[in-house]
Chains A and B, each alone.
Chain A
């Protein structure tokens, strides 16, 4: 759904050889891309460029060109730990999203029938609510006396309430909750394109249901898993509201650190450098995604 797609079109425009028609109806002049392109260059590329500059040439009396911030980031154990936590968290959330999302996607494509529209609505609707609202809801659920703890206590699985909000588990669950719809929709869109007859043929030739799935459907849907994973990975990398409100500071990722640098220590150069690192990872993911789309040969 939110994957990077090219918006070039595939319709053939019938041009007229007649000289009477001076313009090709249905095809608009290319200079029309100037407004958005220009706007983005001035207000998107330039700020990022400016940000990059600031990280190697911070403003100030003793300003000089140096990679000091990057050196600090990549050599100091604390910062390396933060970077590591960011990546680890992203990988973890992505993995869980795959495990949860694939069955849901499979259900959506194969078994939902007339409920498909409703299912999709239920997946997308939470995106319409404020992220703060959703995180708030989790906070209530995970509190010491919250529903989750009281349920676990009642079931006898634990003796005393788990401090869920103080640890990374609430963060992971919160993030999975936000991003699993993206994964489901990515996988579902690929699953939909897989011909059911391939599975059926495998079954006819003697494979069990599981074998047919593992050897036919799953490999064919890997692209969907791939696109979804890159997307969720990228989104988790950049997420910071969930991390602020859940987990009580136990998980510090790059966005959180940037936020702290900005609001507490005002070390803007460092924040910019960290931001650029994050940006570099995002661009890397974008590149991977493009390669994946090109490989699929789909322009949609």
Chain B
């Protein structure tokens, strides 16, 4: 079993360790310890630019997907009809499509619509694949709660809007957070979609890393990846903190 987990963690551990290597050609075990590859990441403009684009895109598409998917997820979570089954399958469908096909299709479609290769196109495409994640977690959380809280609120005199805003929304917050986190991470790491929209201003980090790897094979990629991993872990910790606090104050 340990072997199994060693297998799972091995390449990641190796990549992290190699990022500190003094040799320019990545090898394991490493011959020395240096931070020079991290400097290189900072100096190599495309890395930093694309990191910014990736972060903006990930957060933006997750936010947009939340806005769009949440109403639908909430409506579907408590519904049992055949039609809602069909619709919910439809909402989850983008998860299962091979993304390279989606990327190609998006490129030409959005170009025909006039969006071209722009941040907006990236945003639109990434939102499409983020919607299933948000829908799934929000619906899951909402379905798990009973209607008791909302009924209590309406008994106490709240109208529909107030019930929704002051009762429903806060209760599904964990679902929103979890879904957004997944969506952000998926978008951040996405290559098949982002590849088709690459340009100097719209390259995302994975795209830049890929083209870097095609010409050079040095530890800078390892350094960038390690930074990315640390960012993801940091985000996880932050969400855990925030959610943890919320959970304690939620009326459960």
Stretch of A72-80, A200-208, A255-263 that contacts chain B? A255-263
Asked if residues B147 and A129 are in contact (CB atoms below 8 Å), the reply is no
Question: How far is A141 from B11 in the complex, measured between Cα atoms in Å?
Answer: 7
Residue numbers in A under 8 Å from B71 (CB-CB)? 28, 32-36
Q: Which residues does chain B contribute within 8 Å of A47, judged by CB atoms?
A: 102, 105-106, 108-110
Q: Which residue in B106, B110, B135, B150 is a CB contact (below 8 Å) of A36?
A: B135
- Whole-angstrom CA separation of A181 from B135 in the bound complex: 22
A26 & B147 in contact (Cβ 8 Å cutoff): yes
Bound together, the chains give a CA A130 to CA B92 distance in angstroms of: 23
Closest to B80 in A: A8
Do residues B88 and A138 form an inter-chain contact, with CB atoms below 8 A? no
Number of interface residues of A (CB under 8 A): 88
B117 shortest CB reach to chain A, Å: 14
Q: Are A140 and B14 in contact (CB under 8 A)?
A: yes
Cβ-neighbour of A43 out of B88, B124, B147, B164 (below 8 A): B124
- Is B245 in the interface zone, CB < 8 Å from A? no
Residue on A nearest B139 in the bound complex, by CB: A7
> Counting CB contacts under 8 A, is B15 at the interface?
yes
Among candidates A36, A131, A271, residue contacting B72 with C-beta atoms closer than 8 Å? A36
Is B35 at the interface (CB under 8 A from chain A)? no
Taken together as a complex, chains A and B put the C-alpha atoms of A36 and B138 apart, in Å, by 13
A255–B75 contact, CB under 8 A?
no
Closest to A138 in B: B11
Q: Out of A9, A131, A276, name the residue touching B80 (CB < 8 Å).
A: A9
Contact flags B79-111 to A (C-beta < 8 A → 1, else 0): 111001101111111111111111011101110
27 A-B pairs (CB sep. < 8 Å): A2-B95, A7-B77, A7-B140, A8-B84, A11-B143, A13-B147, A26-B78, A29-B75, A32-B72, A32-B74, A36-B131, A39-B127, A43-B127, A44-B93, A50-B105, A129-B228, A132-B210, A134-B15, A137-B12, A141-B10, A255-B98, A268-B104, A272-B105, A275-B98, A275-B104, A279-B101, A282-B98
Closest 5 CB pairs of A and B: A26-B147, A137-B11, A238-B98, A133-B225, A47-B109
